[in-house]
Amino acid sequence: MSTTADAIRSADAHSAHTYHPLPVVVASAEGAWMTDVEGRRYLDMLAGYSALNFGHGNRRLIDAARSQLERVTLTSRAFHHDRFADFCTELAALCGKEMVLPMNTGAEAVETAVKTARKWGYEVKGVPDGHAKIVVAADNFHGRTTTVVSFSTDHDARDHFGPYTPGFEIVPYGDLTALSHAVTENTVAVLLEPIQGEAGVLVPPAGYLSGVRELTRERNVLFMADEIQSGLGRTGKTFACEHEGVVPDVYILGKALGGGVVPVSAVVADRDVLGVFRPGQHGSTFGGNPLACAVALEVVAMLRSGEFQQRATELGDHLHHELGLLVGGGAVTAVRGRGLWAGVDIAPGHGTGREVSERLMDRRVLVKDTHGSTIRLAPPLVISKEDLDWGLDQLRAVLA
Ligand SMILES: *Cc1c(COP(=O)(O)O)cnc(C)c1O
pLDDT band at 2 (very low <50, low <70, confident <90, very high): confident
User: What pLDDT does 1 receive?
Assistant: 59
Measured in angstroms, how far is the CA atom of residue 397 from the centroid of ligand 1? Answer: 32
pLDDT band at residue 201, thresholds of 50, 70 and 90? very high
pLDDT at residue 191 greater than cutoff 70: yes
226 among known catalytic residues: yes
The Cα 66–Cα 70 span in angstroms is: 7
Q: Which of 133, 144, 146 is nearest to 181 (CA)?
A: 133
Active site annotation includes 168: no
Å from CA of 1 to ligand 1 middle:
36
> Is there a contact between 61 and 299 (Cβ–Cβ < 8 Å)?
yes
Taken in order of first residue, the domains within the chain and their CATH numbers are 4-57+307-399 (3.90.1150.10), 71-304 (3.40.640.10)
Q: What mean pLDDT do residues 244-249 have? A: 98
Alpha helices in the chain (DSSP H): 3-14, 47-50, 59-69, 84-95, 106-120, 146-150, 155-158, 176-182, 208-218, 271-274, 290-304, 307-326, 353-362, 385-399
For the cut 80, the answer to whether the pLDDT of residue 54 exceeds it is yes
Percent of the chain with pLDDT over 70: 100
Residue nearest to atom 11 of ligand 1 (CA): 142
* Choice from 228, 232, 250, 368 to test ligand 1 binding pocket (greatest atom count within 8 A of CB): 228
Pocket-forming residues, ligand 1, beta carbon under 6 Å: 49, 105-107, 110, 141-143, 193, 197, 226, 228-229, 254-255
Segment 345-353 shows an average pLDDT of 95
Phi, psi angles (nearest 5°) of residue 369: -85, 160
**Residue 328 predicted with pLDDT over 90:** no
Per-residue pLDDT tens over the stretch 151-165: 999 999 999 999 999
> How far apart are alpha carbons 78 and 2 in whole angstroms?
49
d(CA 97, CA 90): 10
Ligand 1, from 103, 140, 196, 229: best to mutate by most atoms within 8 Å of Cβ? 229
Catalytic site includes residue 239: no
For the stretch 112-165, pLDDT in tens is 999 999 999 999 999 999 999 999 999 999 999 999 999 999 999 999 999 999
pLDDT digits (tens, 9 = 90+) for 210-241: 999 999 999 999 999 999 999 999 999 999 99
Judge whether residue 388 has pLDDT over 80: yes
Q: Which of 111, 112, 114, 142 to mutate to test the pocket of ligand 1 (most atoms within 8 A of CB)?
A: 142
Which atom of ligand 1 is nearest to 226's Cα? 13
